[in-house]
Amino acid sequence: TFVIAILLGGSLLLWQAHRNQVDAQQKTSFVSNVSHELKTPLTTIRMYAELLGEKRIDDVDKQQSYLQTIIRESQRLTRLVNNVLDFSRLEQGCKEFSKAEVDLVALLHQQLDSQLMRVEDAGMQLIRKIDAAAVLIESDRDALEQIILNLIDNAIKYAADGEILIVALSQRDGQWLVQIKDKGPGIPSAHRQQIFAKFHRVDASLTARQQGSGLGLSIARQLAEGLGGSLSFCPNDGGGSCFELIIAARSNA
C-alpha cells in the first residue's frame, strides 16, 4: 500500500509538473504572439502617419488610401486590446455584463458594414441572409459586438481562400440563431473539440501563416455563455466551417 501510494503521488507530481510546463509554454507563446500582433499595426500606423504628417504625399487618392489603412490598423489594435482585456476579466471571474435593449438586426448590419472593406480586401464576398426588419433582445451590446468581430476575424484569417463569407439570422426553438459560414478548408475533426480552448491553434500550415493569440474563439464562447447563450462549431455543408451563436429571444418587431 505504501509503495502504491508513493507511485501514485509521484505520478501526480509528474502530471502536475507537465501541466505547469505546458501552461508556461502557452503563456510564453501568447505573450510573443500578442506582442507581434501589437507591433505590426503600430509600425504600419506610424509609417503612414509620418508620411502624411511630413506632407510627402501629394496625390489625394494615396492620402485617402493611407488614411484608410491607418483606420483599419487602429481597428485591428482595438480588437486585440479588447480580447486581452476580456480574457483577463473572464479569467479573474470579474467580467460584468451591462444588459439593455439591443436591436440584433441593426447590430449585425453595423458590424458587417464596418468590416466590409476587410472582407473584400481578403478576396471574400459577403452574403447577408438577414430577413427580419428588427429583432429586439435584452443583451450586452459590447459583448455581442466582440463575439461577432472575433468570428468574422477568424473567417478572414483562415478561410479567405473559400472566397465566401455568409452571415445568417434565423430562429431556432424560440431563440435567435446567428450563423457565420465560410467555404474555407474547415477544421480537422481531431481539433473540433479543442478550438474553443484558450491558446489553442490548429497545427497546420494555414494557421502558421497567420499571427494569432489563440484567444478569439475561447473569449467568444465565454462571452456567449455569460449572456445566457451558446457558441458552437459544425462543419459547413459543401465544405468549410459554420459557427452558430445562440441568443435568447425576447421579442421581435
**What is the pLDDT confidence band of residue 127, given thresholds at 50, 70 and 90?**
very high
Q: How far apart are CA 127 and CA 129, in angstroms?
A: 7
| Type of residue found at 41 | P
The 10s digit of each residue's pLDDT in 18-39 is: 677 666 665 665 565 566 567 7
| Type of residue found at 229 | G
- Tell me if residue 193 falls in helix, strand or coil: coil
Mean pLDDT of 42-60: 84
Does the pTM of the predicted model rise above 0.75?
Answer: no
What is the structure's pLDDT at 33? Answer: 57
Q: Which three cell numbers stand for residue 126?
A: 459577403
Residue, of 18 and 253, whose pLDDT is higher:
18
What letter does residue 236 receive in the DSSP assignment?
A: P
Contact residues for 130 (Cβ-Cβ < 8 A; gap 6+): 105, 108, 109, 167, 168, 169
Closest CA to 201 of 61, 25, 60, 50: 25
Q: With contact defined as beta carbons under 8 Å apart, do 142 and 107 qualify?
A: no
Q: How far apart are CA 90 and CA 86, in angstroms?
A: 6
Q: Which three cell numbers stand for residue 228?
A: 445566457
**What is the pLDDT confidence band of residue 217, given thresholds at 50, 70 and 90?**
confident
Q: In what order do the strands lie in the sheet with 164-172?
A: 125-129, 164-172, 175-182, 241-247, 230-235
∠ CA(91), CA(93), CA(95), 5° rounding? 100
For the chain, the average pLDDT equals 81
Mean pLDDT of 202-216: 55
**What is the pLDDT confidence band of residue 170, given thresholds at 50, 70 and 90?**
very high
What is the structure's pLDDT at 109? Answer: 95
Q: Is the pLDDT of residue 42 over 60?
A: yes
What is the structure's pLDDT at 24? Answer: 64
